[in-house]
Amino acid sequence: MTESRNLFLTAQWTDLLMLNYEVSTKLLEKYVPRGTRLDSFEDRTYMTLVGFRFRETKLFGTLAVPFHRDFLEINLRFYVFRSATSEERRGVVFIAEIVPRWMIAHVARLLYGENYLCRPMGSDRRGGMAEYWWGTKSTSCSLGARVSETSAYPAQGSFEQFITEHYWGYSAQPNGGCIEYQVTHPAWKVRPCIEARFNGDATAEYGAELAGILGNIPHSSFLAEGSPVAVWKGVTIL
């Protein structure tokens, strides 16, 4: 059991818009941290572009940092697993994570060694629409969808369960090592997307090959309603 003294932060994650793309394993192999292996669903490999909201963020479960409690994040991630002593740990690897505040990106890079980027960002969630965007001086990108009003918990063994129920994070380190950390939350209800899209050129954030895939129609898309979450301090495993 994870001990309370290892808690890094707590927050509410809400309105997680997830655009899922089937990809070749060859495109992801260079990002796979040591000690982990690519995870798949029905022998197919996926990456997910996610936009969501952090709310009521507190460090160590109690410390609220002024002007850093509520913010957006957009990340591109894929799925791995690691064989630990007593279990198979299913987790995610982030290719890049975009946030709107420099301090958030700096602290996350320092503690977890992940590729956090700081960009101007915005979002819109009203009626049956959800949208997230970021921009630079030279380009802008967005992900958006029309969302069903009907929500339900994912069925056991479903694709939606596969995407939403990876409870570990893995981060490859510059020295070749790997950091593992746990993320805990209850199961999330999801709403299917009636249509979803990505617009823009994200080459600067994800590289040309992965950015090109985002221009395709997603394999699937849905909005997870979210919940309280806890993120635990990372541990070097290799």
pLDDT in tens, 156-206: 999 999 999 999 999 999 888 999 999 999 999 999 999 999 999 999 999
Domains defined for the chain, CATH in brackets: 19-52+73-221 (2.40.400)
**DSSP for 114-179?**
--EEE--EEEEEETTEEEEEEE-SS-EEEEEEEE-S--BPPPTT-HHHHHH---EEEEE-TTS-EE
First and final C-alpha spacing in the chain: 21
What length is written for the chain? Answer: 238
Instruction: Please report the pLDDT score of residue 5 as a whole number.
Output: 54
pLDDT category at 154 given cuts 50, 70, 90 is: very high
- Which amino acid is residue 109, in one-letter code? R
User: What mean pLDDT value characterizes the chain?
Assistant: 92
Which DSSP state fits 201? -
pLDDT in tens, 38-74: 999 999 999 999 999 999 999 877 766 755 789 999 9
Q: Would the pTM count as exceeding 0.75?
A: yes
